[in-house]
């Protein structure tokens, strides 16, 4: 399985796989739990049910207390630090607590810049730890200014950080939003809301179980060997590079859609994580559409503070846009480093940081050359968008090479293609991205124009019901053929 390379962790992953998400077994358990959760409107009852669910789900990944001990210690120390900051601690205490949370995460995730002698000599649970880390750090950063975050109780803290619907791979939800949804006046859950939740669940299962599996199968076939013919080899390399972003999108967005639907059964609205990312005509816009909960978190807690800090210390306002490019580099470099502890993810971070920083520098240069109004008009021209989408997708595909491959394998492909073959493959990737994304966008626009009685046909209740039924039938067929196998969520390993 190609994507498994991205999730390897030496010595820190227990053997038990836990409950697979998405899956029908997870869905069945969630529906039963939602019925139990809805038996009473009492907030204490619902919080208790959620705590049992959250802890029970976590325990499906291990039965050995020793494997759970580091995870529990990280959670409890985080809670103690948050309460300490919320009690009006001085700035140095706040900084020390936040640094301790960061150090604990790096240590438990075994980052390569730390010496091996520091790591625990046994396997322990790390599933969902990266997403728990963001929630704990979010509370710590907000505890001093937000009384609600600083006075959080242990029950609410555990339910928020271990939310079983978003534990494995997010999305990353703000505490204030979670608190409002699980408070005394939760969101309504009528037939309309249940119908929307069911539609999201089916769509997520279809993308994850069917579409991702088809693309992964094609990528595995392409990766098996390079054709002898130079042009065919270049085309194969271009398709292989383009296939992984598509696979990752169906895999991760399918998971996200599924858990958003499941969470709605508990009156919790998880944040959206995707908004048609491959439509983006720039790398900056791509990251505003892909893994949005992560991008928004880092924008709020890294990019904005960095830019504000720089703006206060720079006297020349003309340099501020370039400082913004530098802040973007740091922010998206950290996104790469968060994904994994090895040098592969350091490279991923550098490529992402360089992509957004150069994109910002290009915008500044274009605005200076043409003027801001003319630059804006140019960026909206169909031909410009046509080319920009292809270039953006190609850079995305390039940054993800180390997710499904490694240096020796990439070197083997490069030697087999040669300089001419690599150039041809890059050209095919860019041109193919332009054409395919342009065609898909044109088809989408044409389809949305179909109307009956003045109402869009594709968004009508009848068409949506038929489409959801067809997707469910496809999911059931694939599940039966593969005996329930649908792979795993790629982002589970991060």
Residues 6+ apart with CB under 8 A from 116: none
Question: Which two structure tokens, joined as six digits, stand for 53?
Answer: 């669910």
Check residue 484 and give its pLDDT: 65
330 phi and psi, to 5 degrees? -60, -45
SS3 content of the chain, % helix, strand, coil (to 5): 75, 0, 25
Nearest one of 104, 112, 158, 165 to 135, comparing CA atoms? 158
Residue 67 sits at the vertex; the CA angle it makes with 63 and 69, to the nearest 5 degrees, is 110
* Sequential DSSP letters for 148-162: HHHT--HHHHHHHHT
In this predicted structure, what is the pLDDT of residue 356?
Answer: 94
pLDDT score recorded for residue 15:
47
Q: Are 186 and 176 in contact (CB under 8 A)?
A: no
**CB contact at 8 A, 471 and 205:** yes
Listed as ranges, residues in the chain with pLDDT below 70 are 1-16, 484-486
Alpha helices in 60-150 (DSSP H): 65-86, 91-108, 129-142, 147-150
pTM: 0.93
Q: How far is residue 10 from each of residues 5, 259, 345, measured CA to CA in Å?
A: 12, 28, 15
Per-residue exposure over 183-218, b if at least 16 CB sit within 10 Å of its own CB, e if not: eeebeeeeeeeeeebebbbbbbbbbbbbbbbebbee
Q: Is 97 exposed, middle or buried (0-12, 13-18, 19+ CB in 10 A)?
A: buried
Q: Give the strand pairing for 451-452 and 455-456.
A: antiparallel
pLDDT confidence of residue 4: 42
Return the closest-CA partner of residue 479 out of 14, 127, 57, 27. Answer: 27
> What's the confidence (pLDDT) of residue 334?
87
Tokens matching residue 30: 């969630």
Distance CA 381, CA 35 (A): 52
Give the angle 12-17-22 at the CA atoms, nearest 5°: 125
**Spatial separation of the C-alpha atoms in residues 73 and 131, rounded to whole Å:** 16
Q: For 323-377, write each residue's pLDDT tens digit.
A: 889 999 999 998 888 877 777 888 899 999 999 999 999 999 999 999 999 999 9
362 in Cβ contact with 353 (< 8 Å): no
């Amino acid at each position: 399985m190609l994507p498994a390379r991205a999730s390897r962790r030496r010595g820190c992953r227990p053997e038990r796989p836990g409950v697979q998400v998405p899956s029908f077994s997870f869905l069945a358990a969630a529906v039963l739990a939602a019925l139990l959760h809805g038996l009473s409107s009492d907030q204490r009852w619902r919080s208790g049910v959620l705590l049992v669910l959250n802890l029970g789900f976590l325990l499906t990944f291990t039965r050995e207390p020793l494997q759970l001990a580091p995870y529990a210690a990280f959670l409890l120390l985080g809670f103690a630090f948050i309460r300490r900051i919320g009690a009006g601690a001085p700035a140095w205490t706040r900084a020390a607590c936040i640094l301790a949370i960061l150090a604990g995460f790096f240590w438990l995730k075994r980052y390569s810049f730390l010496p091996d002698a520091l790591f625990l000599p046994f396997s322990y649970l790390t599933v969902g730890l990266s997403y728990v880390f963001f929630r704990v750090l979010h509370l710590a950063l907000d505890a001093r200014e937000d009384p609600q975050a600083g006075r959080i109780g242990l029950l609410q803290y555990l339910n928020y950080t271990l939310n079983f619907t978003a534990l494995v791979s997010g999305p990353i939800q703000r505490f204030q939003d979670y608190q409002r949804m699980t408070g005394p006046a939760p969101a309504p859950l009528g037939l309309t809301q249940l119908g929307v939740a069911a539609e999201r669940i089916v769509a997520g299962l279809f993308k994850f179980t069917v579409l991702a599996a088809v693309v992964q199968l094609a990528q595995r076939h392409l990766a098996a060997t390079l054709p002898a013919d130079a042009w065919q080899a270049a085309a194969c390399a271009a398709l292989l590079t383009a296939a992984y972003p598509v696979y990752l999108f169906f895999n991760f967005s399918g998971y996200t859609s599924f858990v958003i639907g499941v969470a709605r059964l508990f009156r919790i609205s998880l944040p959206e994580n995707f908004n048609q990312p491959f439509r983006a005509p720039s790398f900056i816009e791509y990251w505003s559409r892909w893994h949005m909960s992560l991008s928004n978190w880092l924008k709020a807690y890294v990019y904005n503070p960095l830019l504000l800090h720089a703006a206060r210390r720079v006297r020349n306002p003309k340099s501020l846009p370039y400082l913004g490019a530098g802040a973007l580099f740091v922010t998206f470099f950290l996104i790469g480093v968060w994904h994994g502890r090895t040098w592969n993810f350091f490279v991923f971070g550098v490529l992402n940081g360089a992509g957004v920083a150069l994109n910002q520098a290009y915008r500044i240069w274009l605005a200076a050359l043409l003027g801001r109004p003319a630059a804006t008009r140019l960026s909206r021209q169909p031909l410009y968008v046509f080319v920009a989408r292809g270039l953006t997708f190609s850079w995305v595909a390039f940054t993800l090479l180390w997710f499904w491959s490694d240096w020796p394998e990439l070197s083997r492909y490069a030697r087999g293609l040669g300089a001419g073959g690599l150039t041809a493959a890059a050209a095919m990737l860019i041109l193919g991205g332009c054409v395919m994304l342009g065609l898909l966008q044109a088809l989408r626009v044409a389809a949305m124009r179909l109307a009956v009685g003045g109402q869009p046909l594709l968004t009508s209740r009848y068409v949506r019901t038929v489409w959801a039924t067809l997707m469910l039938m496809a999911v059931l067929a694939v599940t039966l053929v593969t005996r329930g196998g649908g792979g795993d969520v790629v982002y589970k390993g991060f």
